[in-house]
Structure 1
Amino acid sequence: MSLVRTRATYLVYASLGFYGWFIYGFGPVVPLIRDEQHTSRAVAGLHGTALAAGALVAGALYPLFARRIGRSNTLYATLAGLGLGIVLLVSVPSVPAITIAATLFCGIVGSTLVNVAPPALLDVHGPGVSGAALAEGNAIATGTGLIAPLAVGLSLDRGHGWRPALLVATLLAAVILVVGRSTGARLPSAAPSSFDEKQGAEHGQVGRRPLPRRYWIAWTVTLCCIAAEFATTLWASDVLRNRTGASAALATGAVTAVVGGMCAGRITGAVLAARLPGAVVLLPALGVALAGTALFWAATSPVWAIVGLAVLGLGLGPLFPLSVDLGLQASGGQSDRAAGYSSYAAGLAIGSGPFVLGALADVFGPHAAFLVVPTLFAAAVVGVLAAGRRAPASAV
């Protein structure tokens, strides 16, 4: 099946691009906030913890919003909410408690926005190509993520600080809202079965039908993939410095190789997922990620380590969108509820994956601790195979 893009598709793509600018631009801003506030790395790291906590809250809120006000209104509201949250973040006094609270708000609204995309694209394009559409949308988010840190650096170089670069995201949100509303772009409403209305509405138990076991296997795959992604992007530079003797500047810049590889991987994954089942694409992507991890871990020169990171990013790219789509297709028609639970996976992975690797690095060193990443990939392989075995014959 071919991927036929609609106005709803482009609305989701643009929204993911806006979120990508914020989330990838916010990463390099955290050390700058730390410099302003003269705090420890642990305190500055609470901004990342706030984003993870926001994802957990969003997991509970999204199904409720989708049911009460619909997907379109949820998307438009979160676009406006995150745009205003960014304005709040750059405007409040630079005090840890205040900036962390503002980050928590952005995390809640932003993660709710992201939760709209998978079920909406599933209903727009159907199970055959929804994974391709989600991978393509995430490629756009990663592409804007490549530009956002450069914008932060340019703003700093011009003497304007980091704030104007983040405010660009608010301008993007305003443009998307105006264009989306003026063109009448709307997302499909959830089917009644998504909330089990036929069986539970009369008793106030809407959406409470248990999700299938196959969904929870796919959910675990998503958890492993997100944890591996964030552990890599946060700790790869430390491993690179420790293993190869690279300078701090080179090691920090090398993380761009991961993000660039992820962007290429999501584009490639979108092309393949339009022709093959998502689970079939997930397995070779995990293989590429494992190969890149092995090359990076074994490298003793910065050049080969950076090549390994690029290959690792190439494999990482399609894992998140395709694993989420795998879970939604296994949800038994409860796609909005399943998307909300996927946000729990994101929050737990972001909050625990990098922390576990960092704790192990304190004991065994960063190079040995990085073996957590291939372990997560291996667990994801087992999960994909288990989900495939449990797939009903009609799905196969």
Structure 2
Amino acid sequence: MYRYTDEARFVRDAPTVLSYAVLGAFTFWLYAFGPAVTLLRDELGFSYTLLGFYSVLWSLGSALAGAGFAFAARRLPRDVLLWGSAGISTVAAAMFTLGRSVAVTLSAAVVFGVAAAALVAVTQAILSDRHGARRDQALTEANIGAGASAVLGPLILGALAAGALGWRVAFALPAVCLLALYLRYRGTPLPAAPQRHETGRAGRLPVACRLFAVLTAMSAAIEFCLVYFGPQMLITTGLSATAASTALSSNYLGILIGRALGSAVTRRPGRSIPLLYASLALTFAAFLLFWLADHPVPAIAGLFLCGAGVANLYPLAVGLMLDAAPGRGDTANARSQVVLGLVTAASPYLLGILADRYGLSAAFVLEPVMIALSVALLWTGLRAHRRTGHPA
């Protein structure tokens, strides 16, 4: 029912629209979480290291869920995985907003991480199975909606933080959206997991797939370090904590615009690789502008351009990873979530430790290092993929 060929017209049917919407609802939480932790730090007065620990626990939860996703995907229908993950995300949001202590909110970060990995993996799998060779377009379009949520999340969070209701109310909005989606689409049939057909040792993915999985993780780590510590850097230019958290929306606006342009570019085949290299180059140049700025205006402009640069790194890297593991999308997704969880756990936490010891500006040297590693992973992965007989 859900087979797709290169010659077929790209159809945004019910499973596609549902995947787009669920990912957008979850992304609101994801991108509101970093600024919310900044506001929580302002309330409770904990250290940069503890701020980074929120990211660590989220990421370790993602790694835990990723380790078990392939097992669950072989035994549970896609709709159970989808709605179950959405429900767990809602529980995590309730824990984070209703709990007023470090212990409860740290626990919420773990639960969020578990739900995150499963929800992202199942939506990516649905889109990949539904659209086959056109998965790049589907994944990029899905991340346009996610980019819109990324812009709205900190804006709504900041507006509510400045008002009588408080920032915690913002975390109820995606839960309402997911409930509406469940009532509308709960009977929609979703693509079933394809049967494994490749040969080779059980559980072993191709080298190119594994390199691209690390690239997806590195792409997310570049972005997450800016999400968690970008507002803190803006505070050093003279902004208040609330203003800095709201100004992070410039980064998300850049992501939204970048993904909209990326969607247009990837409608024609053969453009994903040049777009990835161009995105990495823009990310590096924009980060230098942000990093070296001593005034809010150039710093915010740098964050905007960083967003445009990182916008297409993750969805296109996911497309490369899935293309390098034909028939094993669930396994590739699961392994990538484990790697993503570990890398995104280590990088912000390491940045926080370096910031406490050497200062935040010096600690941000981690970003250009990760950008350089991403270029190396992309180049090496493409060479490995070509050696298997697949075109770049």
Of 265, 268, 271, the residue aligned with 1:275 is 268
Displacement of 1:395 in angstroms is 3.7
Of 349, 360, 364, the residue aligned with 1:370 is 364
Equivalent residue number for residue 107 of structure 1: 113
Equivalent residue number for residue 393 of structure 1: 389
Displacement of 1:340 in angstroms is 0.9
Equivalent residue number for residue 168 of structure 1: 173
Equivalent residue number for residue 150 of structure 1: 155
| Code of the aligned partner of 2:117 | S
| Code of the aligned partner of 1:176 | L
Answering whether residue 64 of structure 2 is matched by residue 57 of structure 1, we say yes
Cα deviation code 1:309-334 (max 9, x no counterpart)? 21111010111111122111112421
Please report the TM-score for the alignment, with normalisation by the length of structure 1. Answer: 0.87
Q: Report if the CA contact (8 A) 2:282-2:309 is conserved.
A: yes
Answering whether residue 228 of structure 2 is matched by residue 223 of structure 1, we say no
Of 131, 140, 145, the residue aligned with 2:145 is 140
CA 1:140 to 1:358, structure 2 compared with 1: closer, same or farther past 3 Å? same
Displacement of 1:159 in angstroms is 1.8
Of 117, 125, 128, the residue aligned with 1:122 is 128
Q: Report if the CA contact (8 A) 2:144-2:256 is conserved.
A: yes
RMSD: 2.6
CA 1:302 to 1:27, structure 2 compared with 1: closer, same or farther past 3 Å? closer
The secondary structure found in structure 2 opposite 1:138 is helix
Q: How does 1:165-314 map to 2 (within 5 A)?
A: 165-181=170-186, 184-193=187-196, 208-240=202-234, 242=236, 245-248=237-240, 251-277=244-270, 278-314=272-308
Cα deviation code 1:69-128 (max 9, x no counterpart)? 12222112212232233234434x42332332233223212321111122221111112x
Q: Report if the CA contact (8 A) 1:142-1:262 is conserved.
A: yes
Equivalent residue number for residue 349 of structure 1: 343
Equivalent residue number for residue 204 of structure 1: none
Equivalent residue number for residue 29 of structure 1: 36
Q: For the residues of structure 2 that align with 1:360 and 1:99, how far apart are their CA atoms?
A: 23
The secondary structure found in structure 1 opposite 2:202 is coil
Q: Report if the CA contact (8 A) 1:9-1:121 is conserved.
A: yes
Q: For the residues of structure 2 that align with 1:253 and 1:314, how far apart are their CA atoms?
A: 18
| Code of the aligned partner of 1:190 | A
Q: Report if the CA contact (8 A) 1:80-1:174 is conserved.
A: no
Q: Report if the CA contact (8 A) 1:135-1:266 is conserved.
A: yes
Cα deviation code 1:19-76 (max 9, x no counterpart)? 0121222223224445665655544554333211210111022212211112222112
Q: For the residues of structure 1 that align with 2:127 and 2:349, how far apart are their CA atoms?
A: 32
Q: Point out where structure 2 has 5 or more consecutive residues left out of the alignment.
A: 1-5
Q: Point out where structure 1 has 5 or more consecutive residues left out of the alignment.
A: 201-206
CA 1:188 to 1:367, structure 2 compared with 1: closer, same or farther past 3 Å? same
Task: Indicate the larger mover: 297-306 or 142-151.
Answer: 297-306
The secondary structure found in structure 2 opposite 1:193 is coil
Q: Report if the CA contact (8 A) 1:239-1:370 is conserved.
A: no
Please report the TM-score for the alignment, with normalisation by the length of structure 2. Answer: 0.88
Task: Indicate the larger mover: 130-139 or 144-153.
Answer: 144-153
Displacement of 1:282 in angstroms is 1.0
Displacement of 1:342 in angstroms is 1.4
Equivalent residue number for residue 330 of structure 1: 324
Displacement of 1:298 in angstroms is 4.1
Equivalent residue number for residue 95 of structure 1: 101
Equivalent residue number for residue 384 of structure 1: 378
Q: How many correspondences in the alignment? A: 381
| Code of the aligned partner of 1:144 | S
Q: For the residues of structure 2 that align with 1:302 and 1:165, how far apart are their CA atoms?
A: 26
| Code of the aligned partner of 2:181 | I
Q: For the residues of structure 1 that align with 2:207 and 2:49, how far apart are their CA atoms?
A: 38
Task: Indicate the larger mover: 157-166 or 224-233.
Answer: 157-166
